[in-house]
Amino acid sequence: MKKIIKFFTIALSILIGVIALLEIYSRIYIKFNKSDFAYLMNYTSFQINENMSLEYNINDRLILEKKENYNIGDTILFKYFDTYKIVEINDRYSRYYDALDESNNDYLVSSDQIVGKVVTNFSKSYDLYSTLATPNIVVLFIILLISYIYFDNKDVKYSKDEY
């Protein structure tokens, strides 16, 4: 039983550690680059907060890939004035793409407006991610992890002293 608890503690600590590092990286990247998105190896994420598409729901998290060129049929996210739009590319020119949304609205999108190509969608993942990314949960988990390590080492000491 102890091994199962130890495994889950280590797995959960790695998960929360990665989430905490990604949040710290994102905040620093956005602040220093004065950008809306933080790219890590040309990938970023986008939280859908409004009905943008029939295919994607509110609270879905999209993983986007920033590329030099996009192909016909790619689904992209681009900045349209003060909002973001999800469209599918149906034609390309030298630095521009002709794209349609689900309502058949036509957009001429420049490469500079494109945030990235939709690679995957984590449906309804915002609830879990936002809960794990709060500072209170991270601090609580660090306290639990330290106490677990302390008591685990205490058991090892006692077993060594018995021999």
Q: Which of 71, 79, 75, 48 is nearest to 61 (CA)?
A: 48
pLDDT tens digits along 83-135: 899 999 999 988 899 999 888 889 999 989 999 999 988 776 556 666 666 67
What is the CB-side half-sphere exposure of residue 137 using CA atoms within 13 A?
A: 14
- CA separation for the pair 119, 103 (Å, rounded): 22
The DSSP call for residue 113 is G
How far apart CA 15 and CA 157 sit, in angstroms, is: 29
Integer Cα distance of 88 and 118 in angstroms: 10
CB 40 within 8 A of CB 21: no
Predicted pLDDT of residue 150 = 75
Q: According to the model, what pLDDT value does residue 42 have?
A: 92
Residue 69: φ, ψ to 5°: -135, 145
* Mean pLDDT score of the chain: 81
List of residues 6+ apart from 123 with CB closer than 8 A? 57, 60
In angstroms, the CA 86 to CA 95 distance is 19
| pLDDT tens digit sequence for 31-84 | 998 888 889 899 998 888 887 777 888 888 889 999 989 999 999 999 998 889
Q: Is the pLDDT of residue 157 over 60?
A: no
Report CA Rg, the chain: 22
pLDDT at residue 9 greater than cutoff 90: no
The pLDDT of residue 15 is above 70: yes
Residue 155 pLDDT level (bands cut at 50, 70, 90):
low
Check residues 161 and 136 and name the one with the higher pLDDT.
136
Tell whether the model's pLDDT for residue 159 goes beyond 60: no
pLDDT at 85: 92
> Check: CATH 2.10.109.10 for 36-126?
yes
Of 46, 122, 54, nearest to 88 by C-alpha is: 54
Q: What is residue 40's DSSP assignment?
A: B
**pTM above 0.75?**
no
pLDDT beyond 70 at 1: no
Per-residue pLDDT at 109: 94
